[in-house]
């Protein structure tokens, strides 16, 4: 690579100072690349693509949030048309980012990485399928937890109603016994003063 640069630079007769500076900068860049560990280059490429993927994922989550909120009654200030436009813009941004990611993987990734886009698509599809399975399991668990909570609330209401009914019947029976004891019929049959014993 350096030989190629020297050959190209030697073909220039009377180079300008700007050309000399550009040549020196390019030589330094090539030397730094030559010194770099290939794994560091791969790591750098991975970090750059990863940052782009994180941004894609964040926008994708915003889009999913918009879709989920569209299925419930909206109580905000934005109009439906504005929310539709927002979803269209998010979808357009997602499509543009996916194209950008694909172009970076296909055209800008080192050839040593092979068909990075195809590998990425395959792995992404596998992870999405795994996440869908995990999400379905999580939904089932959440639904079961909601059902258990509703069942517990129903049982508590039933037991509370039963306790209140039993207390009401006991209090009614106690009141009835007091009324019978204090009635003139009872006093006529069992002649004892009413103040002597109310519950006897």
Q: By C-alpha distance, which of 21, 25, 26 is closest to 5?
A: 26
Residues 9, 23 contacting (CB under 8 angstroms): yes
Return the pLDDT at 63.
79
Residues 35, 87 contacting (CB under 8 angstroms): no
Higher per-residue confidence, 168 vs 44 = 168
Return the pLDDT at 177.
87
* pLDDT tens readout for residues 169-183: 999 999 998 888 777
Higher per-residue confidence, 163 vs 134 = 163
Return the pLDDT at 169.
97
Q: Is the pLDDT of residue 200 over 60?
A: no
Sequence ranges of the domains in the chain: 2-153
- Which contacts qualify for 123-129: CB closer than 8 Å, 24 or more apart? none
């Amino acid at each position: 690579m350096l030989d190629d640069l020297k050959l190209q630079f030697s073909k220039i007769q009377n180079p300008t100072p700007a050309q000399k500076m550009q040549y020196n900068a390019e030589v330094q860049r090539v030397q730094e690349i030559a010194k770099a560990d290939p794994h560091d280059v791969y790591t750098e490429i991975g970090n750059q693509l990863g940052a782009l993927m994180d941004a894609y994922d964040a926008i994708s989550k915003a889009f999913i949030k918009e879709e989920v909120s569209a299925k419930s009654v909206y109580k905000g200030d934005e109009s439906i048309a504005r929310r539709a436009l927002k979803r269209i813009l998010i979808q357009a941004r997602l499509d543009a980012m996916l194209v950008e990611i694909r172009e970076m993987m296909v055209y800008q990734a080192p050839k040593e990485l092979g068909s990075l886009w195809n590998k990425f698509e395959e792995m992404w599809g596998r992870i999405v399928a795994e996440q869908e399975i995990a999400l379905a399991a999580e939904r089932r668990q959440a639904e079961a937890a909601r059902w258990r909570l509703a069942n517990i609330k129903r049982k508590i209401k039933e037991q509370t109603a039963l306790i209140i009914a039993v207390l009401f019947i006991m209090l009614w029976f106690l009141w009835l016994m007091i009324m019978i004891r204090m009635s003139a019929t009872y006093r006529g049959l069992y002649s004892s003063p009413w103040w002597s014993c109310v519950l006897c």
